[in-house]
């Protein structure tokens, strides 16, 4: 194809990660775009502004604020977020159509750091059934639309939708065309959550080996969670050379969702020893962002969800409670404060032991002698056997009863 190589034009590398810090991983949050595409997750303008504000404060590198051509509401939300953001790059999504790209540009152009993200399906299934285009027609469309976006904005991200089900030699060709047309970030989406960690890494390595100039762009990974492997696939891509992870708060997203921001960010933080990469995020804002997104989207967070679930820092079994009371590291690999919680929770239930019961009484300001403590503990166990949750009020009532009957 006859394309002009633009990788060396001014601005082409402005999104490349710092050459002095090759292990820095950019976080691209798409809660407000891919997340909102979950059926039933529509958010109001104010909710979107609040979420964008906390992402910006948290240090998220790029916020994909919406899909401006999709509706007036989306356009307005992206434009407002673009005007408001202090630190983050603000990105608008566009299909491979000039009208979409112009609309995305109109929405993000007021941002301090705007980005246009354009995509087209590249897999045989998408070419045949969605686009009714052959390989060459898709290549020409990529050249046309990426160069159009690049004429408007120095920061252009391009995605081959369904990349993980695209023939590898053809995927390589598409990326070459996108780079020559001026793309500065190449994103590799696992659109249907089909890949596995080894393959996710191999795709990135194959691209790096076969696409000249790709090392001057940022390579992004965008995983869906249909097989529950989105986090593992994203991290595998990073180990192979990707330096931007696309993700959402609480893993919100179509079907089984996207890679969860809190999971990749905390995994990189906790396992720095084996994955020497880092993000610049203020992780103490994670819980607030999670609650905000759960409320705005109406998608509650499952109790045992990694990092942000109600039980992620809660302990009920006696052995675990005893361990945590002696040294939290016995059963915790992260500090609750690091994700914005004040403390872990010792949940009182039938598995709780004497150590936790004693600590709970102390918390409640109840001081019992040895015999009274033993009797109270027996009664607490009987109560816990008959009840799912034992609340502080139950324990206070149990002690009061014991005192009146004594
Ligand atoms: O999953 C996907 O392929 C997408 C693209 C629009 C990047 O969300
Ligand atoms: Zn997606």
Query: Position of tokens 């995305």?
Result: 104
DSSP per-residue letters across 153-216: -S-EEEEEETGGGS-HHHHHHHHHHHHHTT-SEEEEEETTS---HHHHHHHHHHHHHHSTTGGG
Binding positions: 34, 222, 224, 258
Cβ of 222 less than 6 Å from ligand 1:
yes
pLDDT in tens, 15-35: 456 767 899 999 999 999 999
Q: What are phi and psi of 221, to 5 degrees?
A: -120, 135
Separation of CA 189 and ligand 1 centre (Å): 6
Residue 9 confidence class, pLDDT cut points 50, 70, 90: very low
Indicate the pairing of strand 62-66 with strand 185-190.
unpaired
pLDDT in tens, 174-227: 999 999 999 999 999 999 999 999 999 999 999 999 999 999 999 999 999 999
- Is this complex scored with an ipTM above 0.90? yes
For residue 117, the ligand closest to its alpha carbon is 1
Q: Alpha-carbon torsion 133, 139, 140, 142, what sign?
A: positive
How far, in Å, are 29, 279, 301 from residue 262 at the CA level? 11, 12, 12
Token pair listed for 351? 């598995």
Q: Bridge partners of 156? A: 116
Q: Using most ligand atoms within 8 A of CB, pick from 191, 223, 248, 259 the residue to mutate for ligand 1.
A: 191
Q: Which residues contact 376 (CB under 8 A, 6 or more apart)?
A: 357, 361, 368, 398, 399, 402
Residues of the chain by 3-state class (helix, strand, coil), percent to 5: 50, 15, 40
pTM of this structure: 0.93
Cβ of 120 less than 6 Å from ligand 1:
no
**Measured between alpha carbons, how far is 157 from 221 in angstroms, rounded to an integer?**
12
Separation of CA 193 and ligand 1 centre (Å): 11
**Measured between alpha carbons, how far is 234 from 40 in angstroms, rounded to an integer?**
26
pLDDT in tens, 268-312: 999 999 999 999 999 999 999 999 999 999 999 999 999 999 999
pLDDT in tens, 149-164: 999 999 999 999 999 9
């Amino acid at each position: 194809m006859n394309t002009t190589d633009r990788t060396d034009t001014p601005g082409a590398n402005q999104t490349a990660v710092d050459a002095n810090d090759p292990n820095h991983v950019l976080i691209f949050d798409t809660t407000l775009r891919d997340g909102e595409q979950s059926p039933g997750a529509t958010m109001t303008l104010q909710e979107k502004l609040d979420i964008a504000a906390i992402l910006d404060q948290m240090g998220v590198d790029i916020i994909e604020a919406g899909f401006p051509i999709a509706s007036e509401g989306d356009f307005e939300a992206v434009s407002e977020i673009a005007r408001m953001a202090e630190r983050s790059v603000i990105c608008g999504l566009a299909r491979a159509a000039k009208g979409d790209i112009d609309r995305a540009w109109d929405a993000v152009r007021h941002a301090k750091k705007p980005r246009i993200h354009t995509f087209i399906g590249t897999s045989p299934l998408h070419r045949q059934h969605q686009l009714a285009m052959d390989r060459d027609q898709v290549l020409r469309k990529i050249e046309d639309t990426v160069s159009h976006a690049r004429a408007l904005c120095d920061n252009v991200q391009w995605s081959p939708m369904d990349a993980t089900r695209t023939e590898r030699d053809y995927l390589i060709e598409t990326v070459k065309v996108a780079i020559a047309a001026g793309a500065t970030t190449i994103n590799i989406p696992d659109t249907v959550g089909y890949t596995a960690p080894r393959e996710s890494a191999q795709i990135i390595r194959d691209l790096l080996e076969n696409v000249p100039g790709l090392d001057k762009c940022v390579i992004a990974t965008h995983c869906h969670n249909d097989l529950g492997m989105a986090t593992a696939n994203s991290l595998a891509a990073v180990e192979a050379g990707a330096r931007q992870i696309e993700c959402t708060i609480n893993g919100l997203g179509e079907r089984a969702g996207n890679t969860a921001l809190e999971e990749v960010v905390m995994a990189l933080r906790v396992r720095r020893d084996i994955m020497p990469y880092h993000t610049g995020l203020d992780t103490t804002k994670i819980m607030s962002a999670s609650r905000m997104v759960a409320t705005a989207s109406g998608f509650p967070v499952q109790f045992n969800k990694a990092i942000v679930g109600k039980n992620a820092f809660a302990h009920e079994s006696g052995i675990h409670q005893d361990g945590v009371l002696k040294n939290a590291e016995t059963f915790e690999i992260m500090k609750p404060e690091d994700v914005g919680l004040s403390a872990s929770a010792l949940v009182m239930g039938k598995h709780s032991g004497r150590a936790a019961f004693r600590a709970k009484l102390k918390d409640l300001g109840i001081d019992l002698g040895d015999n009274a403590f033993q009797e109270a503990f027996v009664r607490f166990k009987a109560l816990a056997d008959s009840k799912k949750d034992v609340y502080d009020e139950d324990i206070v009532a149990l002690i009061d009863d014991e005192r009146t009957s004594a």
